[in-house]
Structure 1
Amino acid sequence: MTPNLLRPHAEQSGAAELAALAAVDDRPRPPSWRLSPWAVLTYLLGGTLDDGTVIIPKYIGPRRLMEVAVATLATDRALLLLGVPGTAKTRVSEHLSAAICGRSTLLVQGTSGTAEEAIRYGWNYARLLAEGPSEGALVPSPILTAMRAGAVARIEELTRIPSDVQDALITLLSEKTLPIPELGTEVQAAKGFTVIATANDRDRGVNELSSALRRRFNTVVLPLPASEDAEVAIVTRRVAELGAALELPELPSAADEVRRVVRVFRELRSGRTADGRTKLKSPSGTLSTAEAISVLTSGIALAAHFGDGVLRAHDIAGAVLGAVVKDPVADAVVWTEYLEAVVRERPDWSDFYRACRELAG
C-alpha cells in the first residue's frame, strides 16, 4: 500500500488481513470468490486467527445482519444496504467487495445527474465516428466490467438516481444479461457477479425504488448503534483510524469528550435525555455517527495545532454547533433550548456550556 494515500481503498488498507485470512481459509468458496463466506464475515466483524493475526472489525453491530448480507451475495440476489446516513453502509459495501473479489472500485456514484450510460455502457465518440459501433468504441460501465469479470459492482445512493435510470437495472439483475443492440450482441454475467447498492430515505431529493426493482434486491437495514456504549466504541475506533491516516498528533485519552459528543447527538436524535426524564425537540439534521466522528476529528486537529494538546470542550463546541444547526432559525431554537434545559443543568458539563455560549456571543 502506498503510504501517502489520503484514503486507501479497502483492498489496500486491508491487504494484510485479507492475505492472512486467505492463508488459513480452507472452507468452500462460491464461484469467483477470493474468500469463503466465513472468512468474509470474519473480515467484517473482526477476530483472532489461529496464527495470532488480529482482524480489526470493520462493522460494529448485529452479527446476524452481516450474515444475511454475506449469504445474499453468495446467491444470485443483489444486496441493498438501507439505513439513515452514518450507519456504515458505504464502509460495509466497500469492505464486502474487497473481501469477495479483491476490488471495491467498480463503483457507480448515484446523483440526480447519473445517466443510463453509468449503468449500461457508453461510447468513445471519436472512435464511434471513425469506425462505427465496435467493441473498441464501447466504454463499459463499472457494472458491465463486473459482469464480465464475475466481480462485485457497487452503487452508492441508489435512490438519488433518476427513476428511469434505475429501471435499467431491472433486466440486468433478473436476467444477468446486458444486451448491446448496436453490436448485435449481449454480455452474460460470469459466475460471481453481483451488485451491492446503498440507499437512505432520510435525505431530500430521493427517488423511490419501484416495486419491480426492490424485488431484485435483498434488503438489509443497518440500524443506528443500539446503545451509547456501542456508539462510543464505534466513534473511538474510527476517530483513531482517521487520526492515524491524517497523521494528526496523538493526544491523551479523549474518552470523556467522545462520550459527551455521542450523548449530545443521541439525545437530540431521540428527542429525550439519556435518563428519559426530559423530552427534547430534535433538529432537522440526522446527527449521525459519521458526523460525530467528524466533529471529534476536527476537535483533535484544533487541540493539536492550536490548543494545549488535550482535547477539551472548546475544541469540539464549534463543530457540534455546526452539526446541529443546519436550519439557522428552527435548529438554533432547538440548540438553545437544549443548552439551557440540559447542558446547563449538568455540573460536569459546565465547561461545555461556557464554550457553547461563547460561540453564541
Structure 2
Amino acid sequence: MTVSVEPTGGRAASARPAESGGQGATQELRPHAEDAFAAELAALAGQDDRPRPARWRLSPWAVATYLLGGTLPDGTVITPKYVGPRRIVEVAVTTLATDRALLLLGVPGTAKTWVSEHLAAAVSGDSTLLVQGTAGTPEEAIRYGWNYARLLAHGPSRDALVPSPVMRAMSEGMTARVEELTRIPADVQDTLITILSEKTLPIPELGEEVQAVRGFNLIATANDRDRGVNDLSSALRRRFNTVVLPLPESADAEVDIVARRVDQIGRSLDLPAAPDGIDEIRRVVTVFRELRDGVTTDGRTKVKSPSGTLSTAEAISVVTNGLALAAHFGDGVLRPGDVAAGILGAVVRDPAADAMVWQEYLEAVVRERDGWKDFYRACREVSA
C-alpha cells in the first residue's frame, strides 16, 4: 500500500512583502530565498515560456537565469545569486531534472548552502524542506518519526507518523535539502540509498510505503575538508551527480561577490552604506587570497598559509562586522581599523602556529606595500 503525505500549505500560503533583487521589508532577520526574491521569481515565471519539468515552478533555463542573473525582455533585472562559471549552474540545474540527486561539494565558504537554497526556491518555491546534518542527526530526520503520545495510546498509525522533510518532498514532488551530508553518521547516510535508487520510502510498521511523485529530487552539500569524517559509501555516492563549487577564479570576481552580499546583509540589518568601502573590501580579499594561495598577488613573494580556510564567506563576515563598527562606533566610513580585528580572528585559529604566519605576513608583505601603512598600523595594534 502506498501512503501519501498531505501538503501542509505553509509555504504556499505565505504572503510576505518582498522587494525584487534583495531582502524585503519584512520582520525576519533573514527571509527565505523564495520570500526575499519573490518579485524576481514571479517576473521569471510570468515570462518563462520554455518547457518545465513536472511540478517545477520555472524551466531549467529560468532557474539558471535566476541564479546567474540577467535582464528579461520586459526590462526586469534579475540579480546574480551566484557568481561563477555558468556551466556549473547549468549542470546542477540539469541534474535536478533527471533521476539523480545533486551533491554540491567544495571547501567551506564556496556558497554551497546558498546555491542549494536558491535552487530549491526556484524549482519548488520552497527551500525549507531541510535536514541539517550533524554528528547527532538521527535516522528519523531523514525517514520519519512518531508522535509518541499517539503511538503509546493507539499504536502505530498514520496519525501517529511524523514525516521528515525528505518524506514530505517525496509525497509532494518537491526538492529536499540535506546540509553537511558527510557530518551525518554513515549508517544514517545510507538510509538515503533506497530513497534515491528506488524512489520509495518503506514504512514497515504500517506495512506501507511512500513513493516519490514526479518532481521530487534532493540536493546535498558537503565540505571536501570533511573527508575522513563520515565518507560517503560508494553505493550512496553513485546515487549523486557531484558538482564541485570552486573558489572565485579572480580577485575581481571575489570582490564583486563580497560587495554584493555585504550590501544585502547590511540592508537587512539597517546598516548605512559605507562610502568608498570597496577599497577595504578589496584589501580584505587580497589578504585572504594571498594567504590562501601561499604567494603574493604579483607572484614575487611566497608566504605561509594559516590553518583556516579564509573563504569568501569569512571575508563577507569580516567586512560586515567592519561595516557595523564604522556605523556604530565610527564616522560611517569603512577604514582599515574596522576590518583589522576581523581579519586577525579569521587568520589566527591556532594561537601558536597561525600567529607566527600572520606576523611574518604583516612584516614581509603588508609593511612594504604602498598605500597600506594605515592597515599595517591597525593590524599591529590589534595583534599586540
TM-score, length-normalised on structure 1?
0.99
Q: Is residue 185 from structure 1 mapped to residue 205 from structure 2 by the alignment?
A: no
2:219 match: secondary structure: strand
**1:13-43 CA-partner distances (Å, limit 9, x unpaired):** 1100010001001110001101100110110
Question: Among residues 351, 359, 368, which one is paired with 1:336 in the alignment?
Answer: 359
TM-superposition CA deviations, 1:178-226 (whole Å, max 9, x none)? 0000000000001000000000121587311111111000000000001
Equivalent-residue separation in structure 2 for 1:279 and 1:228 (angstroms): 18
Query: For residues 351 and 251 of structure 1, what CA distance do their matches in structure 2 show?
Result: 18
Q: Name the structure 1 match of 2:172.
A: 149
Contact 2:261/2:316, CA 8 A, preserved across alignment: yes
* Alignment pair present for 1:51 and 2:108: no
Pick from 182, 185, 193 the counterpart of residue 170 of structure 1: 193
Among 337, 342, 348, the alignment partner of 2:371 is 348
Give 1:82's aligned residue. Answer: 105
Partners of 1:175 and 1:309 in 2: CA distance:
57
1:155-304 maps to which residues of 2 (within 5 A)? 155-203=178-226, 206-304=229-327
Large movers: runs of 4+ above 2 Å:
203-206
CA distance in 1, matches of 2:269, 2:297: 33
Deviation at 1:340, TM superposition (A): 0.5
| Residue 156 of structure 2, aligned match among 109, 112, 133 | 133
Q: Whose helix proportion is higher, 1 or 2?
A: 1
Equivalent residue pairs, number: 361
Matched, 1:123 2:151: no
Structure 2 unaligned regions, length at least 5:
1-15, 18-25
| Alignment partners' CA distance in 1, 2:104 and 2:34 | 20
Q: CA deviation at 1:251?
A: 1.9
The answer to whether the 8 Å contact 2:182/2:226 transfers is no
Does residue 21 of the first structure (1) align with residue 44 of the second (2)? Answer: yes
Task: Tell me, yes or no, if the aligned pair for 2:64 and 2:90 is still in contact at 8 Å.
Answer: yes
1:105-124 alignment runs, 5 A limit = 105-124=128-147
Contact 2:307–2:354 (CA under 8 A) maintained in structure 1: yes
Q: Which amino acid aligns with 2:320?
A: T
Q: Are the aligned partners of 2:124 and 2:175 in contact in 1 as well (CA < 8 Å)? A: yes
Q: Kindly state the Cα deviation for residue 250 of structure 1 after the two structures are TM-superposed.
A: 2.1
What is the CA-CA distance between 1:249 and the residue it aligns to?
A: 1.6
Root-mean-square deviation over aligned CA pairs: 0.9
Q: Distance in 2 between matches of 1:204 and 1:148?
A: 32
SS at the partner of 2:241? strand
Counterpart residue number, 2:6: none
1:122 aligned counterpart, secondary structure? strand
Secondary structure of the structure 2 residue equivalent to 1:145 = helix
Deviation per residue, 1:111-148 (Å, 9 max, x gap):
00000000100100000000100000001110000000
Using the alignment, how far apart are the partners of 2:227 and 2:219 within structure 1? Answer: 22
Which string of whole-angstrom CA distances, capped at 9 and with x for unpartnered residues, describes residues 279-337 of structure 1?
11100000000000000000000011101111000000000000000000000000000
Per the alignment, residue 326 of structure 1 pairs with: 349
Structure 1: gaps spanning 5 or more residues: none
- The structure 1 residue matched to 2:54, chosen from 31, 48, 52, is 31
